[in-house]
Amino acid sequence: MTDREPGQEPEDGGSDERDQPTRKASEAALGDSIFPHTDTFYSGPELNKGVPADPLFIRVLSRIEITIGIALFALIVFGVMYQVLGRYVPSIGWVGAGEVALMSMIAMTFITTGYLVGRNGHIVLEIFDELLAGRRLFVVLRVVSAVIMVATSLALAYEAYVKIDAEWGRLSAAMHVPVGTLYLFALVGFLSAAIHSAFKIPYANRPERKLDISEMEG
């Protein structure tokens, strides 16, 4: 037994030596994992360090999209929970609850498209990124990717505009809401995606903005 105060670390560093096999084992297990390390806002607080600041228009647009997305998410929760409650209290059952949840989920998917595209929160296939990282061709790759994304978003926005008129006369089964309403969210979302993608082009030689979960906290 050695004389030391409670809570005092041992001077010989014995605990560190005993923990080394465990640390090495965990590092080896992580190295064999098929899932690579992923940085998030919480694991990398300086994730967006060096990224150009968004202009006022982009910040306002993103804030509007997130606010609408939060409201739609609340409607999803309301619709699902009301359906659950209706199973236990049949007298308050409402067939429109499921429709509210379903339409809100579709609308939220559309309205947050631009926000996710602007922060690499969408699904992408990074085939050549690792091969070209640190080279000038990587900037060319990012420019080409952004141009393709702008063209794709504008094409989808046009299709959404066409569907608004085509589907406005068709009403939903329970609440009789025009189905074309969903394509309004699609039109706004894809136009926003085109704007966010176009903003990336002049800054292709600088770090890209990553999805910051703290921005989505209501």
Q: How does pLDDT run across 108-143, given as a tens digit for each residue?
A: 999 999 988 887 766 666 665 666 666 677 778 788
**Separation between Cα atoms, residue 107 and residue 113, nearest integer Å:** 10
For the segment 143-187, what is each residue's pLDDT rounded down to a tens digit?
A: 888 899 999 999 999 999 999 988 998 998 888 899 999 999 999
Enter the tokens of residue 76.
């999803």
User: pTM here?
Assistant: 0.68
Mean residue pLDDT across the chain: 77
- Helices 56-88 and 180-200, interaxial angle, to 10°? 140
Please report, for the chain, the start and end positions of each structural domain, with discontinuous segments joined by +.
53-210
Contact 195, 207 (CB under 8 A): no
103 pLDDT above the threshold of 70: yes
For the segment 3-15, what is each residue's pLDDT rounded down to a tens digit?
A: 555 445 445 545 4
Contact 208, 120 (CB under 8 A): yes
- Helices 180-200 and 136-167, interaxial angle, to 10°? 160
80 pLDDT above the threshold of 90: yes
- Dihedral (CA of 15, 19, 21, 24) sign: negative
Phi-psi category of 134—alpha, beta or left, where left has phi over 0 and alpha has psi -120 to 50? left
| Residues paired with 178 in a beta bridge | 171
**Separation between Cα atoms, residue 169 and residue 180, nearest integer Å:** 8
